[in-house]
Chains A and B, each alone.
Chain A
Amino acid sequence: MSLFALGELTLLLAIPVIGAVLLLFVPRRQTQALFSLALLASAVTFLWSLKVFNLFDGANGEMQLLELIPWMPAFGIEYLIGIDGISLFLVLLTTLLMPLAILASWSVKDRVKEYLIFMLLLETGMLGAFVALDLFLFYVFWEVMLVPMYFLIGVWGGARRVYAALKFVIYTMAGSLLMLVAIIYLATRYAQETQVLTFDLLRIYALQLPFEQQSWLFFAFALSFAIKVPLFPFHTWLPDAHVEAPTAGSVILAGVLLKLGTYGFLRFAIPLFPDAALAAAPLFVALAVVGIIYGAVVAMMQTDIKKLVAYSSVSHLGFVMLGLFALNVQGIQGAIYQMLNHGLSTGALFLLVGMIYDRRHSRLIADFGGLWKQVPLFSALLLAVTFSSIGLPGLNGFIGEFLILLGAFSVTPLWTAAAATGVVLGAIYMLWMIRRVIFGPLNQPENQKLTDLNGREILILAPILALIVLMGVYPQPFLDRMKPSVDLTLKKVFAAQAVAIHRPDNGADR
């Protein structure tokens, strides 16, 4: 316990809210002050998350920095938060991307104050969802996030922003309603068994349910998460939302929000209902692999760069899902790693697209060509991020992809082989886009006036690129901290199967 006797994680959640409240007192005309204050709040949040990282014991797989405050004791609802090796890096990803996204919002001119307040509230919502360990609390954060995102798309978005925002919200809410029912049912079942009414996830983990009940509950959770990921065929809200969202919205949406879906599987759906998850694994592997291929093939034909990146996300998150449902240490470590990779590389892609959009007011591939001649730095960075995205060894993407393929191959070689075609397809659609955008003759007059990246933009991209290289060359510091928590999760899944089933454990215990 530190400042104000609040825990580190509570402070982490509080700083963006404090920033948002302070923003209320800044006159709306002073956009410079508004931006500076928001940037400061998100930067302090990031620094504070580094302190959390520092306090975190990487050798311990259990929940750490736990905080418990009774909230609605009558219903057994608590403010219970904590962090482990799975959520740690997702929290860091969130706190890193948020100041960068705010810094990338300089071109927002309209209602800056509200915009920045929503951004900061969104950050707290996302961080809360990653650290919440009370099912009801998680649900609250999960829904709270929707509100600022709805407004970010609906107010600051493109031409069809209202349609896209409504689609995003209704689709996500429709999915999460069933999850709420399942959460409440779970708590009541736990109360029946133990006479204790609680939504405490760590305690409910211990609940052993018959297979049929597990199956219903699993699918209620899974539907909600699958829409968020998005898993094929629940993906169609994503291209719409991305195309209409402002740059920072896209960065956060792709960088963090989608990860909440995959995180949800790993934290809730799989360990709470292990038998059902194991039984459903073939279905999810199949959908993941179809998504990998489908997303890539559809991405190839897109004419709008943002849409192309959106469909590529469907493909990349297919890899994450494949890794998760391999249900072994390589697959899950790879999946978490791939979540971070996708957050960085897709975040950077959206940032770059936004930077060129600010200058050219177009995102159509056909409007570009030969940019290297005019804006070499922009082009070189776009190229570097592209190679991260298509998993070039030596950069971060390869580590995740390889571990996922390795984990999945020992369980389901044929589906994994199909998934590996995604590696070829990824090169096809990304390099085709690159060729049409930055290579070739510079023959459109509008492009001959473009200016290269400025200092602020370089400042935004530099940390992401540094991480892309670092995580490719030296992944061990990340993987080491994930491993104990991943092992623990796997233990929860397979503890139910105390009877030895012949299933390759890939040396998890060795």
Chain B
Amino acid sequence: MTLLRYIPLLPLAACAINMFFGARLGKKSAGLLACAAVGASFAIALYVFMLLPATGLFRDTLYTWLESGAFRVNVSFQVDALTAVMLLVVTGIGFLIHIYSLGYMDHDEGMVRFFVYLNLFVFFMLLLVMGDSLLLLFVGWEGVGLCSYLLIGFWYQDHNNTIAGNKAFIVNRIGDFGFVLGILLLVTELGRQGFWTLDFAELQKHVNLLSPSTVTAITLLLFVGATGKSAQIPLFVWLPDAMAGPTPVSALIHAATMVTAGVYMTARLHFLFALAPVTLALIAAIGTATAFFAATIALTQTDIKRVLAYSTVSQLGYMFLAVGVGAFGAAIFHLFTHAFFKACLFLGSGSVIHAMGGEQDMRKMGGLKSHMPATYWTYVIATLAIAGAPLTAGFFSKDLILWQAYSSAHGSQGLWLIAWLTAGMTAFYMFRQLFMVFHGGSRADPHAQAHLHESPAVMTVPLMILAVGSIFSGWLGAPAYLWGSRWDHWLGPVFGGAHDAHHGAVQTEINLMLLTLVIVAAGIGLAYLKFGRPGAAVDQGAGTGGILYRISLNKYYVDEIYDWLLVRPFTAISDWLAWVFDLAVIDGIVNGVAGGARAMSSIWRALQTGNVQHYVMGFLAGTLALLAYYLGQP
């Protein structure tokens, strides 16, 4: 199906046009072109989605990319049910965020550059989800990392932004180190069995040739890559800093799409991960730990975007919990709903920051409700959704994960308990944010207050669409005791019914759901009491609260620990090698040999005329003498 190639190529073409001619086109045309390209991709994706049969697969092969010996990889795209979901998220939400950016970046002199990067990102993200081999996925994987780096450091004149960009790229590369080794191990081990391939369909056919320990090693290495890209323990540290980028970037790349690539990768290779129970157990443990740990940090943050960043880390943890218990469909479902409400929250925060003239500190906000009703109401809906209020999208997808964590063959009550506690914390910190930003009296300085305004329609309309999605996107995956899941029908064939989790009693499922509602309600109630009721005190951040509060506020000092444990020793060693070892030892020996030769021979010294011609003459004479000697021998 040759239509497929246009889905990624249109944004790439727009990127190229704006790169070379953007300055001549002007900000407005360049922005519109960028939006039109992604919009067209979305339209094609939608068309392909309609045509796609239940268990079918479309493929579009362009050419042989890389062939060496028996190893061969094509540039080839595929769309199955899983990719179709990702396509709609990337192009659909990507389109809305492009539109929003027209308004948000309107006053920025770098707007053309912004859209060049953004289109390039969409291209690489589409390559990632459409590539029909693991290597092509990896190309997209690295490419989105590049765009993330460029966009985090978009406002490059501030050192903090570019430091955050470097951190993101390098931490991701550390993860990719594992990813690359995983690919190499996979391809060489299968190669030993006679199959030099990274094509997903071929891999699925032949993975049973691999020994269990090999599969465990491969999946562990690939998961290292996922912890980088999807910000899981221990490589999550880059994502909160990545908020230095413009807010639409945070919404698109660092919430809705790129950071979910790790989840997509594991789901795409479900047939491999399913064979590695040890890896799955580790993924579940790391996912749950990350979800919990990030939520405890989010409780005390005062920067509006940082709260959302830690909440993203936490929600990604939920997705990996689902992956770890073998519920790939549930993971992708949460990825899907999360894309709506988290994009809505980020864009809403962007609208707030825009209105506040760049202020991101929630302690200086408050009372924005009346100034920006559209932003407020969409924010309320998205907050309810992420907290898991009944009948919102988050309610369905999070509950499914909790239920799978409890009932799946790989699940346990311990996993459920931690995920359940995390749900309560999520409700608390999100409503704390809602109250601090929109309710109570305004704490902004008079100058900022005078400029408060609702954002233009080009920004609020995308918010409204996303708010609608924050409710209804979840209805596709309702549990059996309500109206049943269309989601399972859709993705079931891809995952081969690997997750038959409904062996628990329906009554248990309902009871657990009610328990979750209780803790969510408790979280919301507590947030209201502390921050929402009239006359509540404002969270002042530093200097208040006990030791736990300070640990949370300082993010467990993870950055500082990494700095002392890794960065400083590495820098010290590097410094010593460069300025002591290389100069004094290695080059010292070289110069020493030269000096020694000079000192030892007085004849040599006599020949030291400093005249290069003399040296060359001597050299030639010696050569000829040697030649004559050898050739003269019988």
The chain A residues found within 8 Å of chain B, CB to CB, are 75, 147, 150, 167, 170-171, 173, 180-181, 184-185, 188, 197, 233, 235-237, 294, 297-298, 300-302, 328-330, 333-334, 370, 372-373, 387, 392-394, 398-399, 402-403, 405-406, 409-410, 413, 416-417, 420-421, 423-424, 427-428, 431-432, 435, 438-442, 473-476, 479-480, 483, 504, 506-508, 510
Contacts and interface: CB of A to CB of B under 8 A. Distances in A.
B192 to A, nearest CB: 7
Interface string B55-81: 000000001111111110000000000
B65 to A, nearest CB: 7
Contacts of A398: 139, 142
B68 A427 contact: no
Given A188-B630, A440-B159, A507-B69, A236 B587 contact: yes
Interface in B616-634: 616, 619, 623, 626-627, 630-631, 633
B399 to A, nearest CB: 38
Interface in B175-193: 176-177, 180-181, 184-185, 187-188, 191-192
A389 to B, nearest CB: 13
Contacts of A167: 590
B594 interface: yes
A284 to B, nearest CB: 18
User: Interface size class for chain B?
Assistant: 35 or more
B69 A184 contact: no
A394 B127 CA distance: 11
Interface string B512-551: 0000000000000000000000000000000000000000
B578 interface: yes
B174 interface: yes
Interface core residue of B63, B173, B196, B616 (most chain A CB under 10 Å): B173
22 contacts: A180-B623, A184-B630, A236-B582, A298-B578, A301-B577, A301-B578, A329-B68, A398-B142, A399-B66, A405-B180, A406-B184, A406-B188, A409-B188, A421-B177, A423-B176, A423-B177, A427-B173, A435-B162, A435-B163, A435-B166, A439-B153, A507-B70
Nearest to A328: B69
B578 A302 contact: yes
A476 B67 contact: yes
Nearest to A443: B157
B143 interface: yes
B184 A474 contact: no
B218 to A, nearest CB: 12
Given A300-B578, A330-B69, 8 more contacts: A173-B619, A184-B630, A236-B587, A298-B582, A423-B177, A424-B173, A440-B159, A510-B70
A184 B627 contact: yes
Interface of B: 63-71, 135, 138-139, 142-143, 146, 149, 153, 156-159, 162-163, 165-166, 169-170, 173-174, 176-177, 180-181, 184-185, 187-188, 191-192, 196, 573-575, 577-579, 582, 586-587, 590, 594, 612, 616, 619, 623, 626-627, 630-631, 633
List of 9 A-B pairs having minimum Cβ-Cβ separation, nearest first: A507-B70, A301-B578, A236-B587, A393-B139, A329-B69, A439-B162, A409-B184, A439-B156, A410-B188
Contacts of B135: 402
B583 to A, nearest CB: 8
Contacts of B156: 370, 372, 438-440
Contacts of B192: 410, 504
Contacts of A150: 612
Contacts of A416: 184
B332 to A, nearest CB: 25
B170 to A, nearest CB: 5
A479 B64 CA distance: 11
A417 B582 contact: no
Given A439-B156, A476-B64, A427 B170 contact: yes
Given A184-B630, A413-B185, A423-B180, A334 B68 contact: yes
Contacts of B165: 435
Given A294-B577, A413-B185, A423-B173, A508 B69 contact: yes
A393 B177 contact: no
B71 A476 contact: no
A478 B23 CA distance: 35
Contacts of A508: 69
B164 to A, nearest CB: 11
B157 to A, nearest CB: 5
Given A413-B185, A427-B169, A506 B574 contact: no
The dominant DSSP class at the B interface is helix
A233 B586 contact: yes
A423 B135 CA distance: 16
B71 A387 contact: no
Interface core residue of B66, B69, B176 (most chain A CB under 10 Å): B69
B403 to A, nearest CB: 39
A198 to B, nearest CB: 12
A160 B563 CA distance: 38
Contacts of A405: 180, 184
Contact of A392 (B63, B71, B142, B575): B142
A170 B594 contact: yes
B579 A301 contact: yes
A370 B161 CA distance: 13
A173 B169 CA distance: 43
Contact of B139 (A173, A181, A394, A432): A394
Contacts of B177: 420-421, 423-424
A330 B138 CA distance: 19
Contacts of A410: 188, 191-192
Nearest to B582: A298
A302 B583 CA distance: 12
A477 B619 CA distance: 44
A298 B69 contact: no
B143 A392 contact: yes
Contacts of B574: 297-298, 300-301
Contacts of A399: 66
A297 B626 CA distance: 42
Contacts of B579: 301
Contacts of B612: 150
B187 A406 contact: yes
Contacts of B627: 75, 184
A475 B66 CA distance: 7
Nearest to B145: A392
Contact of B174 (A181, A301, A406, A424): A424
B191 A506 contact: yes
A403 B188 CA distance: 12
Contacts of A441: 157-159
Contacts of A329: 68-69
B347 to A, nearest CB: 27
Contacts of B63: 474, 476
Contacts of A442: 157
Contacts of A420: 177, 180-181
Contacts of B590: 167, 171, 236-237
Given A297-B577, A329-B68, A330-B68, A75 B631 contact: yes
Nearest to B178: A420
B586 A236 contact: yes
B69 A476 contact: no
Nearest to B150: A383
A106 to B, nearest CB: 26
Contact of B69 (A370, A413, A506): A506
Nearest to A332: B68
A416 B221 CA distance: 14
B95 to A, nearest CB: 24
Contact of B630 (A185, A301, A372, A506): A185
Nearest to B581: A298
A64 to B, nearest CB: 22
Contacts of B631: 75, 184, 188, 197
B576 to A, nearest CB: 9
A413 B578 CA distance: 28
Interface core residue of B574, B594, B626, B633 (most chain A CB under 10 Å): B574
